[in-house]
Structure formats: C-alpha cells, structure tokens
Chains A and B, each alone.
Chain A
Amino acid sequence: MSSPAKETLSVKLPNLVGYWSEFRGQWRVKIAVSSLLPVLRSLRNDAGFNQLTDLTCVDHLELAGATDRFELVYVLLNIESGERVIVKTFVNEPDLKVPSVTSIWFGADWLEREVYDMYGITFDGHPNFKRLLLPEGFASFPLRKDYPQQGRGERHNFPVITRAES
C-alpha cells in the first residue's frame, strides 16, 4: 500500500532521499533538514496538504538507539481528502537551526515559537521570533530531557510580601 503523498513526492521531487514508514495506518517520512522546505512546499502545493495541524519536537537524549538529538515533527492534513502525513526531520547540537515554514502556513507562527521556547531550536525566517510561553529572560529550555521536572529553582525566586508591609 502507498499513500498519495508519497506518489506525489516521488513525481515532483525524484531526487529526494526520504524514508517512508507506516504505523497503524499513518504515513511518516523522514527527511534531511536541507530538503525540508522543498518537501513541505511540494506537499502544500502539489499534494494539497493545506493545513499544518501540529508542529512539535522530541528530545531523543534518553531514547535507546537514537542517533540524533532533536526530532522535529510536522503533522500535515489535507482538508479535502482528510489524509494525514507526518514529516520528520532531525537536528543536532550545536547547529539547532531549521527554516521557518510560516511562509507556507502562517499558522506555524506560534507553533515554531513554542518549539523554540521548550527546546531552543531556532527557526530562520520567522517574522516575530521570541519566547511564547515562558517569561523573557528565562535561561533554560524546560522540555529538554536534561532539565529537571521541578526546575532549577526559578519558581521560587520572587520577593515575599508580608502582611504588615502590604
């Protein structure tokens, strides 16, 4: 069995090195960062994936057998046919740079900022790139596996107001 997305890509980008796999009826493709933009643009324009459902990242630090540190996951949806495809790419330290896809789907704006906020991966070409959820000046990237769940004391570093002085 094959997916329509795979066939479109094989016609439009014949030189692409992509590893396709299927799990519980869901098609995934692993590609290199350099071919990310052409693949996503082709999926948008030629295969009709007009919605970016989700964009997230996985830290592979503690995953047995993983070779790359960060995995970026793009979940795409074709509204007309209801087909989904997941595009994965990998980045490693120290070069945590990925091209931004806001020019293809503007809905990627906050999703990319969130990935930066949680993992520290920067997106080139993003129009308004800064932290989304955590306060400016926060030093760590909390969803990385080497960051402790209880934090490094940031949550308690505030002045105390006593009743008499308020």
Chain B
Amino acid sequence: MPLELLEPNTSDPSKREGLWTLNFGPQHPATHTTLRLILQLDGEMVVDAEPDIGFLHSGFEKLGESLDYNQYVTIVDRMNYISPLANEIAWHHSVEALLDIELTPRCKYIRTIFAELMRIHDHLLCLGTCVLDLGGATAFMYAFNEREYIYEICERASGQRFHTSYTRVGGLLYDVTDDWIAMVRKFVRNFHKAYNDFSGLVMKNRIFIERTRDVGVLSYEDAIAGGATGPVARASGVERDLRIDEPYLAYDDFDFNICCSRSGDCYARFQVRMMEMLQSIKIIEQAIENLPSGPVFNEAYGKVVLPDKTEVYRSIEGLIHHFESIMPNRQADGPKDSLYAATESPNGELGYYLVSDGSFRAYRARTRPPSLLHFSLFPRMIRGCMLSDVVAVLGSINIIAAELDR
C-alpha cells in the first residue's frame, strides 16, 4: 500500500470530501456530564474534533459578584464536584491572600489533610469511571468503596457528605474531633490494600494498557503553550507542582515528591494520578500524626474572621462578634486592589483572580479552571487516533463540566 494512503487527509480541506461527521454528546455516557464533540472521521480514524461546550454554564462568576467571601464558598463547592473541598480551599486561599490573613497552624494542617483527601477522591473517580467507559465495571466499584469512606470523613467534619462548605475566611466551620482523626488514621491504614487491588486490576491489565498507551499524546511544548497544568502537564514532562513551587498551607513541612512522566499519553496521565495518590497518602500520614493543637480561627484579625461557633452560642461577646462579621453594613473592609492566587487542585492549577472594591465581597471573582484549558487541547490529542480512543482520552484529562463551563 502506498504510504500516503495511510496518512489522514487533514491538511487540505478539499480532500475532506469522504469524511464522516459524527456528533458525540451532549448526552453520552462517556462524556460523564455534558460535553459535545463534533468529530470528523476518516473511516474509524479521527481527523478532527471540534468541542462544543457551555451545556452547564450556570453563571458562577455572576453569583460571585453578589455574594460575600464567606457565602460564595457554597457556590464554588459545586464547581469541581468530584473534589468539592479542593475548590473551597482554593477560593479561600485566594481570599486570604487578598486580605493578607495568616492561618493558624491547626487550620493549615486540617486544610492540607482535606486537600490531599480530595486529590485521592478525584483521582479515584477519574480512574474508576474511565475504566468503566473502557469496558471494566469492577474498578469503578473498587474506587467507590474508598470514595464512600472519604465521604464519611467529610460528613464527620462538616455535617454534609458531598458539598461540605467547610472553609471560612481565616478558618474552618468547626474544629475536628478525635474520632475524625481516628477515621483518617483508619483510612490511611486501609488505603494501601485498596490501592494495590486497584492498581493490580487496572494498571497491569493488558487490555487497559493497550487501549491507553501511545494514545492521545500531548507534547511538552503543547502542554506549556496550551496552558496545561496538574497531572496532564506533569504526564508530558512539565515538572511543576504549585505545592512545591509556590508552597501554600502546610506543604513546606512535609516530605513528598512531584510525580512526572515523559510520554504524555493516556497511560502516563493515569500513572501520574496513581502515583500522586501514594504521595497524597504520605502527606496525610505525616499531617495527621503531627496535627498541632490550638484554635482553627485566627483571632488576631478582628471581624474579618468569624468567631468560633461555641463562643457565638455561649457568650454575648461572641454573638456580637458574629453579628459584626455577618451584617453587610458592618462587615470588614477589603483592600481596593486585585490579585491572582492559585492552588494545586487535583485537576491542575485552580486559580482565582479577585478584584475588590473595598467591601467584603468580590467586585469580580474570576475562576481559572484547569478543565477549560485541558479541554481546549483535546483536538490536538485526538487527531490521528481511533474513534474508540475518544473515550480513553476524555477520561484521562478528567473534564468536569461544571468547572469547564462555570
């Protein structure tokens, strides 16, 4: 067979006559939520893909302009809904950077533990559902076993298993209890066994390896110029992790590594996610054993930071403090300036660009969603792959529609 027949006829639009157009989504099991792709197929080969998004655009940023810094946390929860607490931590990290608030050590540690639990939470669902889409239902069940346990940990700390709304400006909703610590310890103890089961079932599975290796390759240059961050960029060899490069919370105190790969294919992305889970459990282990005592709210900042709930219910001073922090006409002032701050969310760099007009609410609360930039790279990854690879690539970049569309 002459070689030119084997190559997809992408370059010249006049050669596109024999192509099929296939609509993929917005309601399709492998889109997980709501994405739409318009694929150009040459037989079974994907020549081009045009994503169509916005099927879950709900006006988050407009809401962010009308709610104050503590209220908006309930909305950011719903952004990347497979790791809700990671969004809260990112949001309040940006707000605290803008207001220049230093957290108490205990609050930092608890937030770090939750951020890492959410990383495991996110990666488990990403891997589990992708394997489900590729035809193996068992891994999904294994993943959900561990996820349910993390839900319980969230529920014990905040009272809600899913959208916890647990962080506050300069603190947390409640302090954690001793049985919460025991639950986290138990989770850490049991995780390695579950991890080995999962890893043996998925990462050494020949079918899975053949469906993901050398599929959907993202080059190092494309990853950087296209704005890829997090596991997607690290799988392409970009050695950048905000936890190490711009340390926030208590990450400076712990010993852990950046997980990278060079091949940039789907399998590399899954491998990075698997390795990151082990690093996360290492961080949790160090943090829970060294959890400092003390308050979770930093009292030094006056009415910017809410008082402890027990104080509100038991003393008149606490009640007045609470009133002063909550009432819009008595709230603290913010600086009249703008700031960009980001954290390493499970999916990548989740940043907020905040503009403040001097009140206690954002004048503009822009989210920098990792999913948006990753999905815009999707056509580059999928060109030249097979139709059946679309599912594998979509699963490996872990697009969350609510974060994508906001």
Contacts and interface: CB of A to CB of B under 8 A. Distances in A.
Contacts, number: 100
B61 interface: yes
B57 A134 contact: yes
B398 to A, nearest CB: 17
Interface stretch (B107-115, B224-232, B299-307): B224-232
Interface in A75-134: 75, 79, 82, 84, 86, 105-107, 109-111, 114, 118, 131-134
Contacts of A52: 227
Nearest to B227: A107
Given A84-B340, A149-B59, A106 B54 contact: no
Interface residues of B, number: 42
A132 B54 contact: yes
A139 interface: no
Contacts of B228: 107
Contacts of A114: 372
B66 to A, nearest CB: 6
Given A52-B227, A105-B227, A149-B62, A75 B368 contact: yes
Given A24-B100, A86-B340, A53 B227 contact: yes
Given A54-B351, A54-B353, A23 B340 contact: no
Interface stretch (A5-13, A31-39, A56-64): A56-64
A123 B373 CA distance: 18
A133 B402 CA distance: 12
A107 B240 CA distance: 18
B225 A106 contact: yes
Interface centre among A50, A56, A84, A149 (most CB of B within 10 A): A56
Given A52-B227, A53-B227, A110 B364 contact: no
B304 to A, nearest CB: 16
16 contacts: A24-B339, A53-B342, A58-B338, A58-B355, A63-B363, A75-B353, A84-B340, A105-B226, A105-B227, A107-B226, A110-B372, A110-B376, A132-B54, A133-B53, A135-B54, A142-B59
Contact of A106 (B66, B226, B337, B338): B226
A25 to B, nearest CB: 9
B405 interface: yes
B227 A73 contact: no
Contact of B66 (A54, A143, A149): A149
A42 interface: no
A62 B224 CA distance: 36
B357 interface: yes
Main secondary structure of the interface of B (DSSP, over half): mixed
Nearest to A44: B225
Nearest to B337: A23
Contact of A24 (B59, B97, B363): B97
A133 B54 contact: yes
Contacts of A45: none
Contacts of A23: 335, 337-339
B353 A51 contact: no
The 10 closest A-B pairs by CB, nearest first: A107-B227, A133-B54, A107-B226, A54-B368, A133-B57, A110-B376, A56-B366, A58-B364, A82-B245, A23-B337
Given A53-B342, A107-B228, 15 more contacts: A51-B227, A54-B353, A56-B368, A58-B355, A58-B363, A73-B338, A75-B340, A79-B224, A82-B240, A105-B225, A105-B227, A107-B226, A132-B53, A134-B54, A149-B63
